[in-house]
Structure formats: C-alpha cells, structure tokens
A and B are shown apart, each in its own frame.
Chain A
Amino acid sequence: MLQSLEIKNFTVFEEANLEFSAGLNIIIGENGTGKSQLLKLGYVFLNSSNKDQKNMASFLVGLKRRLAQELVEVFGSDNLGHLVTNRVDVEICNIKMGIYPKATKLDISFNKKSQNEIITHGIFDSAEYPKPIFFPTREIVSIFEGFAAALRNRELAFDKTFLDLADALALTLLKGERAELIQPIVAELEKQMKGKVIVKNGRFYLEQDKKRLEMPLVAEGIRKIAMLTYLIMNGSIQKGSTLFWDEPESNLNPKMMVQLAQTLVTLSSMGIQIFIATHSLFLLREIKIQLLQHPEVQARYFALQLEGKSVSVQQGDSMDEVEPIAALDASLEQSDRYLELV
C-alpha cells in the first residue's frame, strides 16, 4: 500500500508532498491538473517495487530497470527524460515513495537526458504485497478476447495499464475458503448488476436469469462493475491490494454512482486501499454519506490546482479541508448564471 509520494519536477508537479490513507484517497481537480498522472505515478512505483523476488541483489538491479520501463510505458512518453518538468531551469526529477508499513523510502532521480537510466538514493527495504490494479476511464471486459495478445504483439495506442489489467483479468477464479470469504461483497455487486459475471472461451458474459448476455451488449456502467467483480472473484483485488481508478463515475448514471460510492467505501473497509480521481460532485457527496456510516474508513482528499505552469496540491482528511473543489465552484457559478436570468 502506498503511504507517501514526494515529487519534485515530475511533469506538472514542481513540488508536491502527499501523505496517503490506507483507506480511500480522493483526487480532485480540473482537467490538466495531473490527476491521472498522480494515479499512474503511484501505480508505477507500487507495481515496480513489489518485492516479488527472493534474491535481494537481483531485486535492486531489476527495480531500476522495471521502474524506468514502467514509467515510459504507462505514461506513453518517448523516453524517461520527457517526464521531467519542462522548464529551462529544471534538469533533474526526484521522487520518493513510502509504503505501508515499511519505514524506508524508495528515493530515485533521473534527468532530462535519461533514456532509461534511474539513480536510486539510500536504502530501500521493500515488501511483498498483491499487485496493484489500475482501472483506466474505460472498461476492457467488452474487448477482452484477444486484447492482451494484441497489446503484446502490436503497436496499439493503449498504455501499459491496459495490458496489466488484461493480465489480471486472465487469472482464474479463487476457490474454497478464499472464495467463501469474498462471497458477501461479490453477492452485493451481483445484486447491483442484476446478474453474474462469467467467462467462456476467453469472452466475458453477464448471466441474467440463466441467459448469457455478451459484455459488449451490456451497459458500460454495468461493465465497469463486472470488471471489478471479476477481479475480486479471481483474487486480483484482495485485502492489502491497492486499486487506482481513474474517473470511476464516467458512464454511470446517478443511481449507479450511489452504488459505486457504497462499493468503494465497502472495499476500503475490507482493507483495500483505493485511489480515485473524480470530477463528480455527486459522487463526492455520496462518498461523504457512506463515510459517515463507516467511520472506520480513513479518507484523504487531494485538491489539485494549476498555478501558472505548475500544479499545487492541498490535502486533508475531509473535503472541507481542501480547496478548490472545481466541481463545487462550477456548480455555484452555474447557479449565479441562472439567477441572473430569472
């Protein structure tokens, strides 16, 4: 789980020190303020530094290579140096990442001329944890069949988060005790979808009243819930996991957003760390309603604002502590415009 990010001169972030919650982390900001970049950065760091190799020496050697490759592939830049803040007086980017519950931080830097060279500073003692999951703004269960193979073998305009997600979806279902443990949340999600997610011959279906509906024929909002459900069913999302979800509200109607907020808070209460980036005031309010009913879930809010060419970040444990909430200001301004005419 991601504990902190200290960012210096990375893309639009000249300087930002972020402290995350092990529960629900909500990133708010207008377009172009780097919300998705922040999600991707957290994902890349967590994904690359997972101590999934027994040999510590090879882990450290591999870490720099993986990190450089992931940054380029997830951000879709031509090389690593392009991710350094584009300002004449800036040469080096520095990022430090802290993970729960370890005290040491991964401290790295690279410069504008880096193709794939990363320098690490100090000691970093990583941990083993479930692979993080990144949900882009669109789902992939409707295009899953052959998607991963196509991404691996062809030049396609999808960043690496899509391939990682396809790989996670390709895992088979849990069984036995582990499957029983997740049954309540799966049942809740199936109630929302009014059906069950099944996979036959590499294709996803929604089974409703014993009829199989091909995923492309299912509403996009339901497909997103289906993707989430299946990843819980196959153990890709489990206690200790971190889920990054970019604009989860897209393609959802307000009724489904109510259920989405409920799901996000329920998953957080189950020990899953969640990051979302959102534009929706409606979703923010539904989350607030859910959090009031689940005081055990720790939330953290981050408001991003473009100041000149750089982005500043305000953070706090409630929405009241951060400004600006772009969607709130836009809604007030809309009322002003309406009131001028009536």
Chain B
Amino acid sequence: MSEYIEKRRAFCFPDQFQVQKYDETVFYDKHFKKTGKPLDPIQKRKSTLDTDASSRGTKAIDFVAFDPQQSELWLIEVKDFNFPMARISLTELIDIMVGKVIDSLAGLLAMRANALGNEQIFALDAIQKNKIRVVLHFEQPLKTSKEFPQSIDIADLKDKLKQRIRSIDPQPIISSMEAPRGVPWTVE
C-alpha cells in the first residue's frame, strides 16, 4: 500500500497503483499552473487582491491515479465540510470540481508532451487509459438532526455532478470514509 495525505486524511492505494498528487508535480506547480489567458492590466491589478483560482491560471485535481493493469484513469478531488473554512456553496463546489477535472485533463496532455522524467512517463501511461473515472471524496459535517440525518443528500450532489460531467464520466462517484462506493483505495 502507498499512503498519501490530503486534507488530513490518509489515502491508501494498492501497491501496483501509480499515484500523483497532481498539484504537487513540478510540471503543474512550476509551469502549467500559470497557463491561461494573458492578464490584461486591469485583471493584473485585480489579481493582486483576488485569490480566485481562475485569475491565477489553471486548477488542479488532488489525485491522478491508475492501476497499470486496468483501463481506468482516476481523477480524485477531496473535500471535507467538517472544516468550516472548506465550506462553499454546493453549486460552487460542483463548478470548481468540473473546472479542476477539465484543467487536469488538459494538464496531463501537456505533461505528456513537455514534462521531464518520471512525470512525463506517468502522464504518458495515464493518457493511454480509455476510461476516465471522476471521484469526489466528500466528508459531510458530522453534526446532524432529525430533519437532516445527512446535512447534504449525496444523491443531490451526484445528480448535479452527473449533469455537468457526463461527457467525461457518465457515472461519477461520490465516496466517503463511511461509504467508499467500491473505489479501489481506502481512506483513514
């Protein structure tokens, strides 16, 4: 098992898995992150105040992973609403997730062409996969009530994500520690 920490959770992937914390790759962090439309002077001034990712360039999914023997490429985003600071509106959450998936797929293609060493090999193998699986690992606030046995109905979130991302993955997964939904890794 190989273990990666994200948002204070340990993601344990099977040994054979190839995993990248995509936003920590040299290619993304030093190069692709800044890719985007050239900033005009007005946007430039705004960008010093604005922390919105869209004004900084491209966005990144938390994990890109695959089993070399299988056909799926896993794009995994982690959100934990137990931390109030991490909370955003659910529509915004889906918007951001969709943007990250699209940017990361574009980033993998550029990584295959322009990255160096292991990162290029990883991207080369990742791009070969013929099935893209999108996973939102989502932890709900633990505090619940009778009216809201779950603060968020996961079916709502899944339906909304499907509407937006079905041309990439018609069956996106929303998993959690309590309900892993059959993903091939574990979370502790």
**Chains A and B come from one and the same complex:** yes
Query: Residues on A close to B: CB < 8 A?
Result: 281, 285, 319-321, 323, 325, 328-329, 331-333, 335-336, 338-339, 342
The residue on B at minimum CB distance from A281 is: B156
Residue of chain A at shortest CB distance from B88: A336
Q: How far is the CA of A323 from the CA of B151 in the complex (A)?
A: 24
**Cβ contact within 8 Å between A335 and B166:** no
The complex places the Cα of A1 from the Cα of B5 at a distance, in Å, of: 58
Min C-beta distance of A331 to chain B, whole Å: 5
Q: Is the CB of B153 within 8 A of A331?
A: yes
Contact A328 B141 (CB under 8 A): no
**How far apart are the CA atoms of A175 and B162 in the complex, in Å?**
48
B10 at the A interface (CB under 8 A)? no
CB atoms of A332 and B156 under 8 A apart: yes
Minimum CB–CB distance for B180 against chain A, Å: 22
* Identity of the chain B residue whose Cβ is nearest the Cβ of A340 in the assembled complex: B87
Query: Whose C-beta in chain A lies nearest to the C-beta of B161?
Result: A320
Contacts of B83 in A (CB 8 A): none
CB–CB B151/A331 < 8 A = no
Q: Give the interface size class of chain B.
A: 20 to 34
- C-alpha gap A281/B155 in the complex (Å): 10
- B143-184: which residues lie under 8 A (CB-CB) from chain A? 143, 145, 148, 151-153, 155-157, 159-160, 162-163, 166, 170
Instruction: Give A76 to B162 CA distance when docked, in angstroms.
Output: 40
How long is the Cα–Cα vector from A285 to B143 in the complex, in angstroms?
26
- Chain B residue with the shortest CB-CB distance to A324: B163
The DSSP consensus for interface residues of chain A is helix
Q: Given contacts A332-B90, A335-B90, could you give 9 more A-B pairs where the C-beta distance is less than 8 Å?
A: A320-B159, A320-B162, A320-B163, A323-B163, A325-B163, A328-B160, A332-B156, A335-B148, A339-B152
User: For the complex, what is the distance from the CA of A146 to the CA of B186, rounded to whole Å?
Assistant: 67
Using A320-B163, A342-B143, A342-B151 as known contacts, say yes or no to A336 and B156 having CB atoms under 8 A apart: no
- The smallest C-beta distance from B176 to any residue of chain A, in angstroms, reads 15
In the bound complex, residues from chain A placing their C-beta under 8 Å from that of B152 are 332, 335, 339
B170-A335 in contact (CB<8A)? no
Bitwise, B69-93 to A at CB < 8 A (1) or not (0) is 0000000000001000001011100
* Residue of A319, A321, A332, A338 touching B157 (CB-CB under 8 A): A332
